[in-house]
């Protein structure tokens, strides 16, 4: 009997602790693509979500209209439970959108909608071997600027290491 009541208490406690956590800023922040539909038509849209800290975000959307102009919107957002809620006004229309699991869906005014998904752009060179002659910092140090001569290969490496140290101290990451 005692084991059963202990088990029930553990189950109740674990159910209480199993409440889903809010999304991490890094999971929400990024680039999204999808469709922005309203009276101006249904056009592709690009959206950037920027984490502002303190559980706040900015949704910055843009799309190219048929006449070539770029239409933009910036809507504030904040973490609300297990999702991020965006709400604001643009051009007299109320905007509301919600982030859940890599997708943002929302409405704009009476008839407008926004549906976008997070994307990960990867450079075509990702994972490939560097071009011949490219060797990190040494490549930059092998071609000294005009009027600056390096007397020996060991001197080149020393100079390069000093440059790396200076850059790291100045918060520029290599």
CATH of the domain at 64: 2.40.128.120
Task: Give me the count of residues in the chain.
Answer: 174
| pLDDT at 172 > cutoff 50 | no
36 and 114, same domain (yes or no): yes
Please indicate whether residue 4 or residue 123 has the higher confidence score (pLDDT): 123
pLDDT at 19: 59
Q: How far is CA 32 from CA 50, 110, 115, in A?
A: 11, 23, 10
pLDDT in tens, 130-156: 777 655 555 455 555 555 554 555 555
72: nearest Cα among 49, 96, 47, 95: 47
Residue 45 placed within a domain: yes
91 and 143, same domain (yes or no): no
Residue 138 structure tokens: 């040494």
pLDDT at 5: 53
pTM for the model stands at: 0.61
Q: Return the number of other C-beta atoms located less than 10 Å from residue 86's C-beta.
A: 23
pLDDT at 13: 47
Q: Residue 164: which H helix or E strand, with range?
A: helix 153-169
* Number of domains the chain contains: 2
113 and 153, same domain (yes or no): no
| pLDDT at 7 > cutoff 60 | no
- Range of the structural domain that residue 69 is part of: 25-119
Q: How confident is the model at residue 157 (pLDDT cuts 50, 70, 90)?
A: low
109 and 153, same domain (yes or no): no
pLDDT in tens, 76-127: 999 999 899 999 988 788 999 999 989 999 998 888 999 999 998 888 888 8
């Amino acid at each position: 009997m005692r084991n059963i009541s202990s088990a029930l208490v553990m189950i109740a406690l674990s159910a209480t602790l199993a409440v889903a956590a809010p999304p991490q800023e890094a999971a929400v922040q990024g680039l999204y693509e999808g469709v922005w539909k309203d009276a101006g038509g249904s056009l592709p849209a690009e959206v950037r979500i920027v984490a502002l800290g303190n559980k706040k975000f900015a949704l910055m959307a843009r799309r190219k209209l048929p006449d070539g102009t770029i239409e933009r919107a910036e809507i504030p957002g904040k973490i609300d439970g297990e999702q991020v809620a965006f709400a604001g006004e643009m051009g007299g229309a109320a905007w509301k959108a919600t982030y859940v699991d890599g997708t943002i869906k929302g409405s704009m005014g009476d008839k407008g909608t926004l549906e976008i998904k997070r994307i990960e752009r990867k450079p075509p060179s990702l994972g490939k071997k560097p071009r011949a002659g490219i060797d990190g910092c040494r490549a930059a140090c092998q071609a000294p600027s005009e009027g600056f001569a390096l007397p020996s290969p060991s001197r080149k490496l020393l100079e390069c290491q000093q440059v790396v140290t200076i850059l790291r101290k100045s918060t520029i990451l290599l």
